[in-house]
Structure 1
Amino acid sequence: MSVDPLSKLPLFATDQQLAMAIVGKERASMWVKAVIPQLERKGFPRIDPLHDGRPVPLVKKFYDGYFGITARFSVAAPDGKENWEKWNSRRRVRKPADE
């Protein structure tokens, strides 16, 4: 299992630190210039002026929602009331081996 690179950052990180953790060193400059402005329009956390960085826990939360990790969904819809008598009648009853 890989370690979350965002967890290694300080509580408030610069755009460059976030970029390197999210997309790697090679693409970090492009991500800061082109991607962050687009993400901010979708709710990406803004820079906190007091701390001069973006709050990393909110960045993580943003990506959880962005990828649908925190979205609620139902695996299967209920198909009606259970009929246990019908289910029990289908079960095979095993007889003990010594009978």
Structure 2
Amino acid sequence: MKATDRPLRLDDLPMFASDRQIAEAIVGKDEAEKWMRERLPTLASKPGFPPIDAFHGGRPVRLVARFYDEYLGGSAGSGSAPRGVEDVSAWKPSRRRA
């Protein structure tokens, strides 16, 4: 598989990217148009979702990634549970006896 055949990721994008590039990295090429039409307007109005930087002509990708980390409750590799999901290991009783 060539590098151009694999799905685009936010990490693959330049520092500032177009909405189309961001859409493809988030939902894939096949769903990008629908995401831009149906989801982007809602996201663009949410606090923390970065606006288009007029000087650079795109959204800052690092801030888009940060928005999604917060939205999803932390990055996948952080070890933290998504928002609303409790870490049940914290509730296990101690094996030590008094």
> What band does the TM-score fall into relative to the shorter chain?
0.5 to 0.7
2:19 to 15, 20, 40: 15
After TM superposition, what 4+ stretches of structure 1 lie above 2 angstroms from structure 2?
Answer: 70-77
What TM-score do the two structures reach when normalised by structure 1?
A: 0.67
Q: In terms of Rg, which structure is larger?
A: 1
RMSD: 3.0
Cα drift, residue 62 of structure 1: 0.1
Question: Alignment identity in percent?
Answer: 46
Is residue 2:31 matched to residue 1:27?
yes
2:66 to 50, 61, 67: 61
What TM-score do the two structures reach when normalised by structure 2?
A: 0.68
Structure 2: tracts of 5 or more residues without a match:
1-6, 76-81
Cα distance in structure 2, aligned partners of 1:61 and 1:15: 16
Partner of residue 52, structure 1: 57
Cα distance in structure 2, aligned partners of 1:4 and 1:33: 19
